[in-house]
A and B are shown apart, each in its own frame.
Chain A
Amino acid sequence: MPASDEGKMGTMLTGFSTRLRLSGALVLCAALAACSGGGGSSGSPDQLSAAARLGQKIFVDQTLSVSGKQSCATCHVAGFAFASDNSAGGPDHGLPVPLGGPNMDLSGFRNTPSLMYASFIPAFFFDGDGNPNGGFFRDGRAATLADQAIAPFTTAFEMANADAAAVIEKLKTRPYLADFTAIYGADVLNDPDTALKRMGAALAAYETEDPDFHPFSSKFDYWRNGQATLTSQELNGFALFNNSTKGNCAACHPTTSANGSTPAMFTDFSFDNLGLPRNANIPANADSGAPDYTPVNSDDGVHTYYDLGVCGPLRDDPGLNKSGICGQFKVPTLRNIAVTAPYFHNGQFATLADAIGFYVRRDTNPEQFYPTDSGGNATKFDDLPALYGGQFLVNINEPSSDANYAGNVNTGEIPYNRRLGGQAALTPDEINDVIVFLCTLTDGYDPAHPAAQVLPAQCRAAVTASTP
């Protein structure tokens, strides 16, 4: 199914109006014990620590890039829940992955995630069953927010500095250098690696402290606190999202607090392999035509590069040799999901309707998602080497041809435990209900003026006329 561009069209909140509404929400939050959790977040931005205020300045400073045109905020845009701006006319419109590099013409490998609520992600670890959890980036390769924040400065297709020294040379020219040395001392500038780590710490402080990153001001949050009412369609979507035999989404995107105090995160920070289709719009996926900085990690004769998530190649853990987890990516939060299209690590789907449609029809109708020839032969999981259960050939005219799948893709959990020709876990109407529910996770709702929040077009399109 061709990905449509509808996702980010329509009205988006500008950064400015978001901020105004958020501060309104914060006053309310301060009055409500239930809005706790944000790591000491319940203050206004000028209550940020000195390090966080410094981090804020670094976050938006394009001078720190080789192109002079890119900062963290270029890819992580406040009005788009700190994901990329894919709106019509926006810099990343229609792109599954962002651009960067010295001339702003190099494509990255993955879709930009939202930074909202990222400070709640735990450091990477393997749980008792040997399954990966947490960590930063979609493969969890950075242990902490501060570790993560130093990477973009020296990544060739992002801010593109040659090394830490190059970043620190730029830092020395910046008006906020005095702020930096006041906190971390001037000596550290002689040790560029450490100085860059301090910049990372400042960025992490900003992302952790500034309530803009975790306002808990969605309609869903107000509803849980008894200050808003969900429409019957929203409530039905919520129930479908929770229900173990329908969406079962809450199994990985929990809708209740994990610790009894921090509101629901809509991720359990685990990893999973959804068997997403290979996205031909990512230049790195073009094999012989791929950019020269694309890693080569396959000689299976099908592709030279596969993004295998937690087992590489972007993640490079010598000790991590567990083939069973190859192709797994971290479960992202679904807060603000309506404004962060495109979806999934490879930005394969431009709308929530397509993303959820993939969940429920991946196995019943693979021809809608994977390359299929005229004889009905579909190559499922075409973005995974056969070694790990990818390149799985089925014939849509032979219902039993998908029996006995053995591989890394999750085919055991609802909603994607179906078989060829079977019934999808959610009907198109039910998908609409789930979409309108997901739209209630958009921050910036004002219970006193519900109409003031203008949701993206895809939210409005999913509202069924019959609902009050």
Chain B
Amino acid sequence: MKKPFALSLIAAALLAAGAARAADPAAKPAGVDAATAQKLEQQIDLMQQQLEALKAELGQLRKQNESLAAQQQQQAVQVQEVAATASAKPEGGISPNLSLWGYGEIYYTHPVHQPEDTTADLARAVFGIGYRFDDRTVFNSEFEVEHAVSSADDQGEFEVEQFYVDHQLAPWVSVKGGLFLMPFGLLNEHHEPTNYYGVQRNFVETLIIPSTWREGGFAFHGDTDIGLTWDTGLTTGVNLANWSPNPEDPLYRTALQLENSGAAPLQASHQELQLANAQHLFEYGSLNYKGVPGLLVGAAISTGTSKASAQTPDQRVTLWETHARWTPGAADLSAVYARGSITGTAPYNTLNAGGSNPMPSKFYGYYLQGAYSVWRHNGYRLAPFVRWERYDMGAGYEGIAPGFSPVPGGLASDGRPWPQPYDRVWTYGANFYLNPHVVLKADYQSYQTNSDFTRFDLGLGLNF
């Protein structure tokens, strides 16, 4: 409460000064001529305006102050909450129906064989606003700034991550509409940095499941008494016309660029409801079973059609996955398998014969991960983990010109070979939680195929 107090002091001083000045001319002896009177009047008018402005400013300060206080209060509430951090959306504040939340991450990544590509980045800062209209209707939205600065010339992006209304029709079924996260894998709906191990998200749920994956549409979802949750809907889908069949240079040279380049099959073509081509809708369904404490198993599928170019036939795009997570005691074991396919790629690839980035007909990935909380004290928690994963963004290709390979065989113009779209990756590291909302991370990743990608990472993540 110190800062607001100082501010009100300054404001009071300013007000007093203004009043003194306003009083001054009025105190002059009588006999002032018309011109001076007019001048004085003008001056008074001006001061009145200044006063109004000050008043408005003060009002604003007060409001800011209030929301700050609200935030602090929320944080306090949050810190006490030792529950799982996933999508914690506290209520209260300015209006008891309004909720604010956020998360963010900063990291440092050092490719050991390409130290010149060492990068530090405020990768994302996300702010959420929710509003509960009544017991059965809520609105949620999330806004994300990626890579710190967002303008036409910078690398950053400003994105709407979610923007939807959810309404409960009956105790067992709700309907939602808008832009929402797809219920795929373990990470997509729970992508706050405190929720996953490792500085960067795993590859399976980045390159195969294009998290953070959201689509516009509507869906029904609900829970059953036996612990089954279901979710099914119609959404916008991928637009294969966004595919870039023949980039001149590799789309990525490091693991970090690989994750951010949008090179993966569904990353390249998913639309994020940005003037999305809504001619073809995709349908999806997901099932999760949470009936046994500490266990989660589930699966999801999405499918629909798209067209890569006017000259290619309608193409069916399908992605399915299955996942499991088991948290017996201090252990945290998880696995995800995801697989996708695109039909009708042969004519497309022939029309782009020799291209450096043909469209794959199949892609998949899976990982196994184990973590163990070895130490807990005073809210601190240390959890080392290990993950093995395999991804293949081009497990099948059709229509490749005879004598050509899906990945260019020669050297790129930077004099180095083209990276391969598949790999097997070991990740060793640890998450160190200062409290459930702030985590420090470190890991080391080694790559079997693109061994240049091997890297050491440090990260800081938080959510509130």
Contacts and interface: CB of A to CB of B under 8 A. Distances in A.
B98 to A, nearest CB: 40
B353 A244 contact: no
A78 B418 CA distance: 44
A123 B267 CA distance: 34
Interface stretch (B64-72, B219-227, B398-406): B398-406
The binding surface of chain B is classed by DSSP as loop
Nearest to A414: B413
B403 A256 contact: no
Interface in B151-165: 152-153
Interface in A213-232: 224-226, 232
Nearest to A425: B410
B1 interface: no
A359 to B, nearest CB: 14
Interface string A243-274: 11110101100011100110000000000000
A244 B356 contact: yes
The main secondary structure of chain A at its interface with chain B is: loop
B262 interface: no
A239 to B, nearest CB: 3
A238 interface: yes
Given A244-B246, A244-B249, A245-B410, A225 B311 contact: yes
Nearest to B357: A244
Contacts of B241: 260
A250 B411 contact: no
A237 to B, nearest CB: 9
B409 interface: yes
A412 B413 contact: yes
Nearest to B245: A256
B310 A243 contact: no
Interface in B344-377: 350-356
B247 interface: yes
Nearest to B244: A256
B228 to A, nearest CB: 43
Contact of B311 (A224, A240, A242, A243): A224
Q: Categorize the interface residue count of chain B.
A: 20 to 34
Interface string B213-251: 000000000000000000000000000010001111100
A239 B246 CA distance: 11
Contact of A236 (B249, B350, B401, B411): B401
Which of A232, A244, A260, A413 has the most chain B CB atoms closer than 10 A to its own CB? Answer: A244
Given A236-B401, A236-B403, A246-B410, A260 B354 contact: no
A251 B244 CA distance: 12
B353 A34 contact: no
Contact of B413 (A33, A236, A260, A417): A417
A240 B354 contact: yes
A413 B412 CA distance: 9
B309 interface: yes
A235 interface: yes
A137 interface: no
A235 B400 CA distance: 11
Given A244-B356, A256-B352, 13 more contacts: A239-B353, A242-B352, A243-B355, A244-B249, A244-B412, A245-B408, A245-B409, A246-B354, A250-B246, A251-B248, A255-B352, A256-B245, A260-B310
Interface of A: 33-34, 128, 224-226, 232, 235-236, 238-246, 248, 250-251, 255-257, 260-261, 412-414, 417
List 10 tightest A-B contacts by C-beta distance, closest first: A239-B354, A245-B410, A242-B354, A243-B354, A239-B353, A251-B248, A239-B401, A244-B356, A245-B408, A414-B413
